[in-house]
Amino acid sequence: MYNIKSMDSNEFIDNEEILESINEAKKLSQSREEITRILSKARQYKGLTHREAAVLLEIDDDETLEQMYRTAKNIKEEIYGKRIVIFAPLYLSNFCVNNCKYCGYKCVNKIGRHKLAQDDLREEVKALEAMGHKRLLLEAGEDDENCPIEYILECIKTIYNEKFENGAIRRVNVDIAATTAENYKKLKDAKIGTYILFQETYHKPTYLDMHRGPKHNYEWHTEAMDRAMLGGGIDDVGIGALYGLYDYHYETIALLMHAEHLEAVAGVGPHTISIPRLLPAEGVSYDSFPYLVNNRDFKKLVAIIRLAVPYTGMILTTREGVDLRNELLEVGISQMSAGSCVGVGGYANRQPVGEDGFEEKPQFNLADHRKPIDIIKALVKDGYIPSYCTACYREGRTGDRFMPLAKSGQIKNCCHPNALLTFEEYLSDYADNELKEIGQKMIDSEITNVPNERQRARAFDYLKRIRGGERDLRF
């Protein structure tokens, strides 16, 4: 557990520093020499400061943007290869006491409210495992009466205890409301993978305007990761902003300042960064949000985040449509959801009526409705390796034990074969004949690219054993 004292959020999310960075960037972005210097630094996999990223956020000419995109693609492939980690969200409860202007679960909405009983949860997990998922992200509204931490812990235990013919869910990540250091310690003891919490917006006046209820407390929310890491001992955390609530320049700079802060106080930055965009939902109209981010600017900011934090996983969800998802995979995304349902009980096709008789509604409207197997096929045809790997969590390669391996390049000798081995499991247990044919052809080719000769020989042996029926062989 870390023991360095955390800072007040107003110190590390410094409004004046952000505004100064934006103003300075407007001037520096006119200097070709400065842009060249920043991109040259990025190509060395050293990352960028929030001030350097601010300069790139001002760029709008196609030629320089293409340079940025090529650089982001090269960085992503050098560090992550062609691997794309696959996961699915699992909604436990849509009870919520907050009234957030952008969310379909806001408490004033007259929608059906429901939480999963443990038997319902088992049915959801069964349905998700049948799709091939091994990594889940638990989601729940904030409601200490209907969805207390004890309920979350019980759900985690239920999920890990479920066993199937083809194995089990191997890793549970958690996205729940900001809580106490004591509760983060309980999540750590429950063996979660990553604790994820979106800031929504780092701009304090906008944050206060968007939220009513317990979530209205800006400091409590923004300092949650300090409590999770410094007080709760959680190794891996994931941060993110909901793009569309405020100016994307401001949000991206603040997001990177948050990452820098965690690196400074905990010794390691965020394990993942998510970049969700605002979507329509029940009781949510686009007309109320003047800062919506268009596709061109969204692609730019994704690439810049990849340049700034080269070793951090970047998560893209089914909020985005197929074509844009494909574009963003090229400029930095390393994790994506597949076949997502953003309602309670949707995977097992539970009747969508809440305990109060109202019809249930999703938290927001999805843009990519493809089945997981169709997403996997598309990835393979585009040359990507779908990965269901959870080995680092279970082998203790987390937090400050993961980053040295990543930065030295040694992690490739684990991640690359683990991706291939877990994909072979998927092919053997869940795929149709078309996917098996193209997938196994890819695996047979890619396994020769494991850098270390000894590890490569071991990977060949593991692959043969998995094709013979063994499971969960990992590096």
Q: pLDDT tens across 52-98, in order?
A: 999 999 999 999 999 999 999 999 999 999 999 999 999 999 999 99
Write a three-state SS string for the chain: CCCCCCCCHHHHCCHHHHHHHHHHHHHHCCCHHHHHHHHHHHHCCCCCCHHHHHHHHCCCCHHHHHHHHHHHHHHHHHHHCCEEEEEEEEEEECCCCCCCCCCCCCCCCCCCCCECCHHHHHHHHHHHHHCCCCEEEEEECCCCCCCCHHHHHHHHHHHHHCCECCECCCEEEEECCCCCHHHHHHHHHCCCCEEECCCECCCHHHHHHHCCCHHHCHHHHHCHHHHHHHHCCCCEEEEEECECCCCHHHHHHHHHHHHHHHHHHHCCCCCEEECCECCCECCECHHHCCCCCCHHHHHHHHHHHHHHCCCCEEEECCCCCHHHHHHHHCCCCCEEECCCCCCECCCCCCCCECCCCCECCCCCCCCCCCCHHHHHHHHHHCCCEEECCCHHHHCCCCHHHCHHHHHHCCCHHHHHHHHHHHHHHHHHHHCCHHHHHHHHHHHHHHHHHCCCHHHHHHHHHHHHHHHCCCCCCCC
Which residue range(s) make up the domain with 420? 409-467
Closest CA to 197 of 256, 279, 138, 143: 138
Q: Model confidence at 285, in pLDDT bands (50, 70, 90)?
A: confident
pTM of the model: 0.94
Higher pLDDT, 451 or 254: 254
Q: Are residues 373 and 437 in the same domain?
A: no
**Residues 139-192: tens digit of each pLDDT:** 999 999 999 999 999 999 999 999 999 889 999 999 999 999 999 999 999 999
CA 386 to each of CA 272, 334, 337, 437, 439: distance values in angstroms, whole numbers, following the listed order? 18, 10, 11, 15, 9
Q: What is the pLDDT of residue 26?
A: 97
Residue 430 CA to residue 384 CA, distance in Å, equals 18
Amino acid type, 114:
H
Residues 444 and 372 in one domain: no
Q: What is the largest CA-CA distance in the chain?
A: 63
Do 344 and 417 belong to one domain? no
111 contacts 94 by C-beta, under 8 angstroms: yes
Query: What average pLDDT does range 195-202 have in this prediction?
Result: 98
Q: What is the mean pLDDT of residues 413-438?
A: 96
Q: What pLDDT was estimated at residue 181? A: 98
Considering the domain architecture, whether residues 291 and 348 belong to the same structural domain is answered as yes
Check whether residue 314 and residue 439 sit in a common domain: no
Reply yes or no on whether the pLDDT at 354 is more than 60: no
**Which range (3-7, 124-128, 363-367) has the least confidence?**
3-7
Distances (CA, A) of 387 to 117, 270, 469: 30, 20, 19
Instruction: Provide the CB-side half-sphere exposure for 136 (13 A, CA).
Output: 27
For the record, the structure tokens of 434 come out as: 């078309």
Residue, of 410 and 327, whose pLDDT is higher: 327
Measure Cα distances from 389 to 85, 198, 288, 297, 392 in Å.
7, 24, 40, 31, 8
Residues 254 and 308 in one domain: yes
Cβ within 8 Å of residue 357, ≥6 positions away:
112
Residues 427 and 375 both lie in one domain: no
For 11, other C-beta atoms within 10 Å of its C-beta total: 10
What is the chain's mean pLDDT, rounded?
Answer: 94
Residue 12 lies inside a defined structural domain of this protein: no
In a domain, 3, yes or no: no
Pair (296, 435) in one structural domain? no
In this structure, are residues 121 and 158 in contact, taking their beta carbons and an 8 Å threshold? yes
Summarize pLDDT for 225-242 with one digit per residue, the tens. Answer: 999 999 999 999 999 999
| Neighbour tally for 437: CB within 10 Å | 12
Same domain, residue pair 436 and 336: no
Q: Which residue in 111, 228, 231 sits closest to 175, CA to CA?
A: 228
User: Is the model's pLDDT at 1 over the cut of 60?
Assistant: no
pLDDT tier, 5 (very low <50, low <70, confident <90, very high otherwise): low
pLDDT of residue 167: 87
pLDDT in tens, 25-47: 999 999 999 999 999 999 999 99
Residues 418 and 365 in one domain: no
Using one digit for the tens of pLDDT, what is the confidence trace for 443-469? 999 999 998 999 999 999 999 999 999
The total of structural domains in the chain comes to 2
Does the CA dihedral 295-370-344-226 come out positive or negative? negative
pLDDT > 80? residue 253: yes
In a domain, 19, yes or no: no
Residue 36 within a domain:
no
How distant is the alpha carbon of residue 365 from its chain centre? 18
In this structure, is residue 17 part of a structural domain?
no
Burial class (CB in 10 A: 0-12, 13-18, 19+), 108: exposed
Instruction: Tally the residues of the chain.
Output: 475
381, 401, 421 — which closes off a domain?
A: 381
Instruction: Give the pLDDT score at 393.
Output: 83
413 is a domain residue: yes
Give the confidence band of 386 by pLDDT, cuts at 50, 70, 90: very high
Token pair recorded at residue 420 = 């291939």
Both 324 and 446 in a single domain?
Answer: no
CATH code of residue 280: 3.20.20.70
Say whether both 320 and 377 belong to one domain. yes
Residue 452 lies in a domain: yes
